[in-house]
Structure 1
Amino acid sequence: MPRPKSDFETLRALDFRDPDEVLDDDTMYTIYEVARMLQGLDPDRELDAETETVLLDWAIPWMMVNADAFVFAEPDADDEPGHYGLA
């Protein structure tokens, strides 16, 4: 439900890091791993489905805005995610 700004003690500007500040140049990641790393989490950390969904809500637009910085590798199987890395 929407809330008035006055309900919040502190408001911060959205500040996204550049892809090269988040990802290692020689490594490919799934979108799930990228989402974790954007939040400063270990890419292998186990998360509940609800938390993972929230993190993806941040990661997908970030990757789209920075699409020129990424390369993509096809998944090994139809039921696996693709992998992304720095261009």
Structure 2
Amino acid sequence: MPVPKDDFDALHPCDFYTPAELLDDDRMYTVYEIARLLQDLDADEELDPETENVLLDWAIPWIMFHSEDLVVAEPRDEEEPGYYGVAEA
């Protein structure tokens, strides 16, 4: 159920990093690593599965929105996820 804006002490702009601001040009990242970086966590931070699922809810749309600025690489083996990186300008 929607709630009034007045219920909140503060409202903040919905401002996300661009791929160039978030990712190193010479690195490739999994969606799990991107999810952590979007929350200012270390890419290899240990998270419980429930928290990781919440972070993925933010990361997947971010990747889709910025798809024109990203490159993707196939997993190196079947047990590994795909990788994303900054597209060359």
TM-score by length of structure 2 reads: 0.90
> What is the distance in 1 between the residues matched to 2:47 and 2:2?
27
Q: Where do 4+ consecutive residues of structure 1 move more than 4 Å?
A: none
> 2:29 corresponds to which residue?
29
Give per-residue Cα distances to partners, 1:16-47, cap 9 Å, x unaligned: 11111000000001000011011111001100
After superposition, the CA RMSD in angstroms is 1.2
- Provide the TM-score with structure 1 as the length reference: 0.91
For 1:67, give the aligned amino acid. S
Q: CA deviation at 1:4?
A: 2.4
Any residues of structure 2 matched to 1:10-25 within 5 Å, and which? 10-25=10-25
The aligned residue for residue 44 of structure 2 is 44
How far off is 1:3 after superposition?
A: 2.6
State the aligned residue count. Answer: 87
Structure 2 unaligned regions, length at least 5:
none
